[in-house]
Amino acid sequence: MANREFDVIIIGGGITGAGTARDCALRGLKTLLVERDDIASGATGRNHGLLHSGARYAVKDAESARECISENKILRKIAANCVEDTGGLFITLPEDEDSGYGLDYQKTFVEACLDAGIQARIISPEEALRMEPSVNPRLIGAVAVPDGSVDPFRLCSANVVDARMHGAEVLTYTFLDSFIIENGAVTGVRLLDRRSGVVSEYRAAVTVNAAGIWGQAVAAKAGISIGMYPAKGALLVFGHRVNNVVINRCRKSADGDILVPGDSVCVIGTTSTKIPFEECDDMRVTPGEVRLLLREGCSLCPSLSSTRILRAYAGVRPLVASDSDPTGRSISRGIVCLDHESRDGVKGLVTITGGKLMTYRLMAEKATDAVCRKLGLDRPCETAVTPLPGSGDGRIEAVSRRFSGKPTAGQKAAAGRHGDLTGRIRFDSPDDGALVCECENVTLAEIRYAVKELGVTNLEDLRRRTRVGMGTCQGSFCIRKAAAALAEALGDPSLADKLAAEYLEERWKGMVPAGWGDTLREMEFMQRVYKTGKPYSYDD
């Protein structure tokens, strides 16, 4: 039986939990990371993937802006393979003059950016169009900022891999059943293995609640109340990269005002709607949200109106009510780190929440500092300077040079995803190079690697690590192949049909809100491939 004594247990395998696990492990703590689903399956994997420069917050929230630009610079260094230096634009359109966000506001905006240490530069509309030809040509002003894109799946995965490499244990598909509370202190957890149904006890001096919006429910299990408000943010994924530079609107933050190029697609978002807690586990994007995002997206980049929407999805921001305001009206968007001993008299429990993808590392640092304090340890944080696995020289060019002969599309794509860890993907046997997902260039070898080293158990897990089925066909063409390959790599070929069926349900859910035009055609094709068992026949 495995040792179930740890220094720290972290609940939640999103980016905050993964980052905290890594930080704890790097500081030499015996760490357990627990996730009820797969890593990055909550809000972490359901956002823009924007590497904020902080410019968006500069005018209203200087502190967030400073945190962003500082973390932006750190992530470029420690997570080179997860980050793409696209640059960003904040554009002003003629109609913004009418709403009070014209070129005068642009001045205020740039000053606030510079105050926060963000290199913002006013450029002419012509230069903006040269930098990003897809930007709305009606623009009357533009500011260039150091925005970028970041792949949240990879970033989360890299943190988990590094935590593991430093001795942490990771349990996915494991649910927090209850806390073990002794003498008013949390001394461990009872965890339910969702696959076997077995509940086991694990002990640690400190437990960190990093469960995002689900953190309210986690805290409640220790009898603690945290006022959280789930804010749903909907996004649309387009079929290809329409833009190569992040495009923002230079005005007060509003719905659908950021278009981010990420990997082979681009994403417009987001909205912000308070939703009841019951909806957090099954969010559907409404036709109203789709229309709104499309309308706003088209004013950033008119060609979106003639680009296929692959799917729609939504994440939940964990907004936390400020403790000093019991009405819950004043909501903090910053990082919230609660030591429940001082706050609620419950020892051994820390909640880390609020914040955003961009500041996950800083959140992890604060949480780990709190853990160390509680353990009476004084160990410095190293996560700001220690590169994540894969980050060495993560450029596709550099990594793909290491393959013998000319790298194939599959190898180049893998290099883009796994950075300098790509060498661990073995292209030895003749079928290793065979493409499984043709839209996203995923090979058998990459699938085998993901199963062996990245803890993949189903197609959703595989998708988050490799992009399998995320392309144009959303799996219509390849999922049967991918399911067979995955089932084989998992050692049970009979799983294939079940894996494919589960995955298609998830894909379908995202396609329904965008179900018209070419997406509807694809949906008919998908139905046909899977319901008649044969996509087509070649008689002649």
Partner 1 sequence: MQEINISDKNFEQCQKCSLCETVCPVMANNPAYAGPKRSGPDSERYRLKNGIFFEDSLKYCMNGKRCEVACPSGVKIADLIQQARIKFSTASPKLRDAMLASTDLMGPLASGFAPIVNISLGLAPVKGVLDATIGLDHRRTLPKYSSRTFTSWFRKHAAALQDSFPRHISYYHGCYANYNYPQLAKDFTAVMNAFGYGVHLIEGERCCGVAKIANGMTEAAVRDAKANINAFRKATATGRDIVTVSTTCTMTLLEEYPELLKVDNSDVKSRIKLFEPFVFEAISSGIVKPVWKEGFKAKVAYHSPCHQERLGWGIFTIELLKMIPGLELIELGSNCCGMAGTYGFKKENFKVSQKIGEPLFNEIRSVAPDYVACECETCKWQIEMSAGVSVKNPVSILAEALDLEKTSELNRA
Partner 2 sequence: MIKFDVIVIGGGLAGMTAATAIQQAGLSCAVIRAGLSLSNPSRDDFVKAGGRIIFDKVCDGVFDGSVLRGVHTGKLGATLLEARVFVLATGKFFSMGLAADMDRVYETVFGLDTEYEEDRSKWFGASFSAEQPFLGFGVKTQDGLALKGGEPVKNLRPAGEILAGISNAGGDASETIRNSALDAAKSIIELCRK
CB of 256 vs partner 1, minimal distance in Å: 13
If binding is defined by CB under 8 A, does position 291 make contact with partner 2? yes
CB of 254 vs partner 1, minimal distance in Å: 18
If binding is defined by CB under 8 A, does position 505 make contact with partner 2? yes
Nearer of residues 98 and 539 to partner 2, judged by Cβ: 539
The single-letter DSSP state of residue 126 is: H
238-277 footprint of partner 2 as x/- string (CB under 8 A): ----------------------------------------
CB of 509 vs partner 2, minimal distance in Å: 8
If binding is defined by CB under 8 A, does position 497 make contact with partner 2? no
If binding is defined by CB under 8 A, does position 516 make contact with partner 2? yes
If binding is defined by CB under 8 A, does position 524 make contact with partner 2? yes
If binding is defined by CB under 8 A, does position 125 make contact with partner 2? no
Nearer of residues 73 and 498 to partner 2, judged by Cβ: 498
- 400 binding partner (options partner 1, partner 2, none; Cβ < 5 to 8 Å by kind): partner 1
Question: CA-CA distance, 14 to 202, in Å (whole number)?
Answer: 20
CB of 414 vs partner 1, minimal distance in Å: 12
Taking CB under 8 A as the criterion, the residue among 287, 376, 405, 491 binding partner 2 is 287
CB of 296 vs partner 2, minimal distance in Å: 16
| From 184-192, 300-308, 351-359, 500-508, span contacting partner 2 (CB under 8 A) | 500-508
CB of 394 vs partner 1, minimal distance in Å: 13
Give the interface size with partner 2 as a residue count (CB under 8 A).
30
Nearer of residues 493 and 517 to partner 1, judged by Cβ: 517
Which residues have C-beta within 8 Å of that of residue 196, sequence separation ≥ 6? none
Taking CB under 8 A as the criterion, the residue among 108, 119, 124, 527 binding partner 2 is 527
CB of 404 vs partner 1, minimal distance in Å: 16
| From 111-119, 182-190, 221-229, 520-528, span contacting partner 2 (CB under 8 A) | 520-528
C-alpha dihedral, 211 to 228 to 362 to 203, nearest 10°: -40
The length of the chain is: 540
CA distances (Å), origin 402, targets 236, 417, 426, 435: 36, 15, 12, 20
C-alpha R_g of the chain? 23
Which residues have C-beta within 8 Å of that of residue 176, sequence separation ≥ 6? 11, 34, 36, 189, 190, 191, 192, 211, 218, 221
If binding is defined by CB under 8 A, does position 137 make contact with partner 2? no
CB of 511 vs partner 1, minimal distance in Å: 13
Nearer of residues 90 and 503 to partner 1, judged by Cβ: 503
Question: CA-CA distance, 484 to 363, in Å (whole number)?
Answer: 40
Question: Quick one: tokens of 522?
Answer: 């694809």
CB of 504 vs partner 2, minimal distance in Å: 5
Which residues have C-beta within 8 Å of that of residue 389, sequence separation ≥ 6? 158, 161, 162, 165, 419, 421
Question: CA-CA distance, 314 to 213, in Å (whole number)?
Answer: 13
* E strand residue ranges, 241-378: 246-249, 258-262, 265-269, 273-274, 309-321, 331-332, 335-339, 349-354
CB of 305 vs partner 1, minimal distance in Å: 6
If binding is defined by CB under 8 A, does position 395 make contact with partner 2? no
Contact 450, 457 (CB under 8 A): no
The single-letter DSSP state of residue 200 is: E
The single-letter DSSP state of residue 339 is: E
429-434: long-range contacts, CB 8 A cutoff, minimum separation 24: 433/408
Cα 394 from chain centroid (whole Å): 19
If binding is defined by CB under 8 A, does position 536 make contact with partner 2? yes
Q: Which residue has the tokens 């609640």?
A: 209
Question: CA-CA distance, 427 to 417, in Å (whole number)?
Answer: 16
Binding region for partner 1 (CB under 8 A): 239-241, 244, 261, 263-264, 291, 294-295, 298, 305-309, 396-397, 400, 406, 409, 412-413, 416, 435, 438-439, 441, 471-473, 476-477, 516-518, 521-522, 525, 535-536, 538
| From 322-330, 351-359, 456-464, 498-506, span contacting partner 2 (CB under 8 A) | 498-506
CA distances (Å), origin 264, targets 238, 346, 364, 409: 9, 47, 30, 13
Q: Which positions lie near partner 2, rule CB under 8 A?
A: 287, 290-291, 501, 504-505, 507-509, 512, 515-517, 520-521, 523-528, 530-532, 535-540
